[in-house]
Structure 1
């Protein structure tokens, strides 16, 4: 991917996440069973990426790379499933704005900790006053969105 598209792609992904939460809320409304609705959502994701990997099958990991992979690396999708399930079952109760606001705020505050402590083999980025103030502004912002 061209480096000039990185930030716009991330922004588009964030915008689509808001749409996805609302779409998943409707999926759950009509499928009725949140576990089945989650399975439908993930089945489409799985089929999409299986198709993409068939179209572009390279590169493939080596045995050495797979042997060096931490055990928790494969759990990322399951962790993401918690967010999908929350969207399916809760977005209609609180609204898309507060739902995404809480999601983004919780994700950013947690990301600051992941960066600071270098969790999950991330390169450490120390907390500093600017990062702390930015996190606090997000927390304050979601408080306002949820209240009004």
Structure 2
């Protein structure tokens, strides 16, 4: 991917995450059962990526790649499912703005900790006063957004 498209693609992903949370909330409302709604949501994702894989099956991992993979790497989707489930069951109760504001701020704080300690094999990016101030400003924004 061309480096000029990285930031716009991330922005698009963030905007679509908000749409996806609202769409999943409506899916849950329509299907009534949150576990069925979650299953439908993930089935669509699974079929989409399987179709892409069959269209572009290369590269494939080597045995060495699989051997060096940490045991926890395969659980990323399950961890993400918690967010999807939270979105489809809670977004109508708190509203899209509040839901995404809390999601973004909690994700940012967790990412600062992950970067600071280099967890999950991430490169270390230490928490410094500037990053901390940014996180505090974001949390302040969340407080303002969630007030009624």
The question of a shared fold, defined as TM-score above 0.5 by the shorter chain, is answered with: yes
Q: In 2, distance between residues paired with 1:66 and 1:37?
A: 32
Q: In 2, distance between residues paired with 1:105 and 1:39?
A: 27
**TM-score, length basis structure 2:** 0.99
How much has 1:2 moved relative to structure 2?
1.2
Aligned-residue Cα RMSD (Å) equals 0.5
Alignment-derived partner of residue 26 in structure 2? 26
Moved over 4 A (4+): none
Q: In 1, distance between residues paired with 2:92 and 2:62?
A: 44
Alignment-derived partner of residue 121 in structure 1? 121
How much has 1:3 moved relative to structure 2?
1.2
Matched, 1:77 2:80: no
Give the match's secondary structure for 1:124. coil
Give the match's secondary structure for 1:83. helix
Q: In 2, distance between residues paired with 1:2 and 1:48?
A: 23
Q: In 1, distance between residues paired with 2:75 and 2:49?
A: 17
Give the match's secondary structure for 2:79. helix
Structure 2 unaligned spans of 5+? none
Give the match's secondary structure for 1:126. coil
**TM-score, length basis structure 1:** 0.99
Structure 1 unaligned spans of 5+? none
